[in-house]
Amino acid sequence: MTVSGQQAAPNGTATRDRLGRLFTPESVAIVGASDRSSWSHRIHGALLNIGYDGEVYFVNPRGGTAHGAVAHRSVGEIGQVPDLVYVMTSAEASLAAIDEAARLGTRSAIILSSGFAETGPEGLLAQRRLAEVAREHDMAVLGPNTLGFANPARRVVLMPMQPGDELEAGAIGVVSQSGNMAVQVMNMARSFDVGLSLLASTGNELNVTATDVLDYLVADEATQVIAVFLEAVTDPAAFRRACLRAQQAGKPVVMLKVGRSEAAARAALAHTGALVGDDAIISAVLSASGVIRVDSMEDLLTTADAFVRSGPVGGRNLAVVTISGGGCDLAADRADGLGLRYPPLGEATMGRLRELLPSYATPQNPLDATGAAVADAQLFGAAIAAVAADPAVDVTVAIGEIEHHAPESAWGLDSITAMTAAARQAPRPVIFTNTTIHTITPGARAVRHELGVPSVFGGMDRVLAAVARIADWSAAPVRAVSEPPQRPRPAGSQDSQDLPARAGTWSEADARSLLERAGVPVVPAVLARSPEEAAAAAGRFGTPVAVKVVSPDIVHKTDAGGIALNRSGREDVIAAARQVLAAAQRQVPAPRVDGILVSPMRPEGSGVHDLLVGVVRDPDWGPVLAVAMGGIWAEVLADVSRVALPCDRPAIESAVRALRGAPALLGARSLPGIDLERVVDAMVAFADLAVSLGEDLVAIEVNPLRVTADGAEALDVTVQWRPRS
């Protein structure tokens, strides 16, 4: 299903309305409320903590009181219809409570309880019954097996929250499939004074999925950036479209997707009852969907926080301003590893810095404004202003140490006001952070809020990495939500009468035909019916030849002894042909044999490289193109780039350039480089072919694709189709 770039998802408005209701209830019933339940205390405490001003009802089948108020025996006994029920009873009791509330007209629910799909067949059945009830009454159900959500702007928190720092409203929307990870984000946000627009954990995703919340946040005006903790999605295509819509809306999606390792895949299975897909494919799809992928919870929140303060960043030219030589050293080393550059400052900037700084300071980038900036309230702000105004600088990170210094110590309010003004008036982004992470004093917290200091938590180590990611995101092309316009459909994509049915594997000869019709350059070859015909063909090529057995049943020809390389002379070729035929006949069960393929050997040498180019079609995530350096080195070094298909031509060129071996391909040490234009032509034709082959395709692979200064030529190809159903 394809939707245009400007439209929301089908039922998008309806879904957003449902979620809007879910996240802003004016009355809440806590089902299972009890003074003896720590969960009950924590949820009730969270509502008190945030200052929820709606009605709160308690429900407990045993009646009595809970948290100092009456406990109703059922939702029906409340006498009012609550907007939302938060259910923390056993799975069976939960089902009954939801059923009752839904009949009464409650349209939103949160189910903390586990014991559903994640526990096995019985739980799955219970979850299905729950789904029926919810569908019948159009009820939005967060969970089951969720911890709930927090909506600090509307002062609703229905998620366990311990005493401590305030949760502030802000511009970061967060969705997590794991409840615990949602709580982790909440606690980091509270510890380090990061504002959130919404935080939701989706658990078993009965009828509110991470994709739904993502879509809601794309439309939510308070949200500028979206942080996602993901285990597995049930509808990858819809999820990908939601990511593309976020990109189009100018809202980065920062994502921590777990399940990279096999051990993690096992853990997720126990946790969500959903499968975790192959990580490399997911990485390619996320990358093509404009998603910023991170590896840790801290990087997730720091990257989002940095974007709220910086907005898009125009390039990788960084300036750092600090008051410490050691800080400059650290900043220089860190940026170096992240591919950020320190451009030399222009003469105007240098002149201004010489005016500002004490004589023993060195005007340069990164800049040590020296300890003099501690004594002079205006100096640090003026230095930031000078550096940030330099046209060579895309983004300035000032090691402001606001959380550490302000306002009890070194930086007075005057200093911080000057620094903040400099950041606000700068023509390009300026953000602040600390050299290292530490806690915020209440005084510093107050100053941050009062002045709107653009200070990012996490310390230089994480913040510079966040800046690099934001620069990447800002430079990425914005793709349409619809599939990119198809290039003219390659001829090979139509079934021709002379090609076999699309099932199982094809012989090399048939697979070659696919490539040829699609315009992928293929080495010439003759399909000979006998050793003598093979020898005659070899004679016509006039070079040493490769001799291969042709069979749809022999995929790994080398392993089967079905290939003889570098043969020349009539007798040698005849012997080779007999040898590969004999090898085929030794296979059990006996393979079909269509003949002998004879093709000229291509010379090796400097400037000649073997690539492997293949497309794998994941049933969920779609086709992904892999480009790899060929040969033993590629296997050892695993030098592979992956691109989700369909994609545009620059994405394929980037994949080639992203190979570690690219400098060798493109001509290192005065060796000849390949004809990149024509190589990419061949890959584009190959990728288009693979896309056009549709869902029947399992994989198609050219190995090797020989690339030289004259372009590309496929030397061998295999194709595999889904079995006939």
Binding of a second copy by 409 (CB under 8 A): yes
Shortest CB 439 distance to a second copy, Å: 4
Shortest CB 232 distance to a second copy, Å: 10
Do 471 and 481 meet the contact criterion of CB atoms below 8 Å apart?
no
Q: Which member of 53, 166, 235, 295 binds a second copy (CB under 8 A)?
A: 295
- Collapsing DSSP to helix, strand or coil, 189 comes out as helix
Do 4 and 481 meet the contact criterion of CB atoms below 8 Å apart?
yes
Residue closer to a second copy (CB basis): 123 or 492: 123
- 688-717 residues in contact with a second copy (CB under 8 A) are none
- 612-651 residues in contact with a second copy (CB under 8 A) are 632-633, 635-637
- 192-221 residues in contact with a second copy (CB under 8 A) are 192
- 560-589 residues in contact with a second copy (CB under 8 A) are none
As a whole number of angstroms, the distance between CA 73 and CA 61 comes to: 4
Count the residues of the shown chain that bind a second copy, applying the rule CB under 8 A.
Answer: 95
- 33-72 residues in contact with a second copy (CB under 8 A) are 38, 42
Binding of a second copy by 556 (CB under 8 A): no
Binding of a second copy by 329 (CB under 8 A): yes
Residue closer to a second copy (CB basis): 261 or 486: 261
- 502-541 residues in contact with a second copy (CB under 8 A) are none
What is the DSSP secondary structure assignment for residue 345, as one 8-state letter?
P
Q: Which member of 272, 349, 513, 641 binds a second copy (CB under 8 A)?
A: 272
Binding of a second copy by 164 (CB under 8 A): yes
Helix, strand, coil percentages for the chain (3-state, nearest 5): 40, 20, 40
Residues 220-239, mask of contacts with a second copy (x by CB under 8 A)? ---------x-x--------
Q: Which member of 79, 263, 605, 677 binds a second copy (CB under 8 A)?
A: 263
C-alpha angle with apex 381: 378 to 386, nearest 5 degrees? Answer: 115
Shortest CB 715 distance to a second copy, Å: 18
Residue closer to a second copy (CB basis): 174 or 597: 174
Binding of a second copy by 165 (CB under 8 A): yes
Tokens of 540: 């016509």
Piece of the chain touching a second copy by CB under 8 A; list 7-15, 405-413, 690-698, 703-711 = 405-413
Residue closer to a second copy (CB basis): 81 or 332: 332
As a whole number of angstroms, the distance between CA 54 and CA 76 comes to: 19
Shortest CB 354 distance to a second copy, Å: 14
As a whole number of angstroms, the distance between CA 317 and CA 108 comes to: 48
Q: Are strands 69-72 and 697-708 parallel, antiparallel or unpaired?
A: unpaired
Shortest CB 126 distance to a second copy, Å: 13
What is the DSSP secondary structure assignment for residue 409, as one 8-state letter?
S
Question: Alpha helix locations (H) across 60-209?
Answer: 91-104, 121-136, 179-192
Shortest CB 636 distance to a second copy, Å: 5
- 373-402 residues in contact with a second copy (CB under 8 A) are 374-375
As a whole number of angstroms, the distance between CA 169 and CA 171 comes to: 7
As a whole number of angstroms, the distance between CA 258 and CA 286 comes to: 13
- 135-154 residues in contact with a second copy (CB under 8 A) are none
What is the full DSSP assignment across 543-603?
A: S-EEEEEE-TT-S-TTTTT-EEEEE-SHHHHHHHHHHHHHHHHTSSSPPP--EEEEEEPPP
Nearest residue to 514 via CA among 502, 526, 530:
502
As a whole number of angstroms, the distance between CA 433 and CA 456 comes to: 5
- 330-349 residues in contact with a second copy (CB under 8 A) are 330, 332-337, 342
As a whole number of angstroms, the distance between CA 63 and CA 31 comes to: 11
Residue closer to a second copy (CB basis): 459 or 623: 459
Binding of a second copy by 455 (CB under 8 A): no
As a whole number of angstroms, the distance between CA 208 and CA 202 comes to: 7
Shortest CB 505 distance to a second copy, Å: 22
As a whole number of angstroms, the distance between CA 586 and CA 268 comes to: 45
As a whole number of angstroms, the distance between CA 622 and CA 237 comes to: 8
Binding of a second copy by 297 (CB under 8 A): yes
Query: Phi and psi (nearest 5°) for 22?
Result: -55, -40
Binding of a second copy by 436 (CB under 8 A): yes
Nearest residue to 357 via CA among 390, 387, 379:
379
Binding of a second copy by 114 (CB under 8 A): yes
Contacts of 376 (CB under 8 A, 6+ apart): none
Do 86 and 150 meet the contact criterion of CB atoms below 8 Å apart?
no
Residue closer to a second copy (CB basis): 182 or 679: 182
As a whole number of angstroms, the distance between CA 562 and CA 577 comes to: 9
Piece of the chain touching a second copy by CB under 8 A; list 296-304, 485-493, 673-681, 684-692 = 296-304
Q: Which member of 27, 49, 187, 287 binds a second copy (CB under 8 A)?
A: 187
Tokens of 593: 């044999």
Query: Phi and psi (nearest 5°) for 150?
Result: -130, 135
Binding of a second copy by 267 (CB under 8 A): yes
Piece of the chain touching a second copy by CB under 8 A; list 73-81, 238-246, 543-551, 667-675 = 667-675
DSSP-assigned beta bridge partners for residue 713: 706
Shortest CB 693 distance to a second copy, Å: 30
As a whole number of angstroms, the distance between CA 167 and CA 151 comes to: 9
Q: Which member of 132, 355, 408, 695 binds a second copy (CB under 8 A)?
A: 408
Shortest CB 361 distance to a second copy, Å: 8
Residue closer to a second copy (CB basis): 326 or 452: 326
Binding of a second copy by 179 (CB under 8 A): yes
Q: Which member of 34, 94, 146, 178 binds a second copy (CB under 8 A)?
A: 178
CA atoms within 13 A on the CB side of 439: 7
Binding of a second copy by 258 (CB under 8 A): yes
Residue closer to a second copy (CB basis): 27 or 184: 184
Tokens of 186: 């909440």
Residue closer to a second copy (CB basis): 176 or 303: 176
Binding of a second copy by 601 (CB under 8 A): no
As a whole number of angstroms, the distance between CA 314 and CA 332 comes to: 20
Residue closer to a second copy (CB basis): 230 or 511: 230
Binding of a second copy by 316 (CB under 8 A): no
Shortest CB 265 distance to a second copy, Å: 8
Shortest CB 412 distance to a second copy, Å: 9
As a whole number of angstroms, the distance between CA 345 and CA 436 comes to: 26
Binding of a second copy by 261 (CB under 8 A): yes
Nearest residue to 320 via CA among 352, 379, 366:
366
Binding of a second copy by 592 (CB under 8 A): no
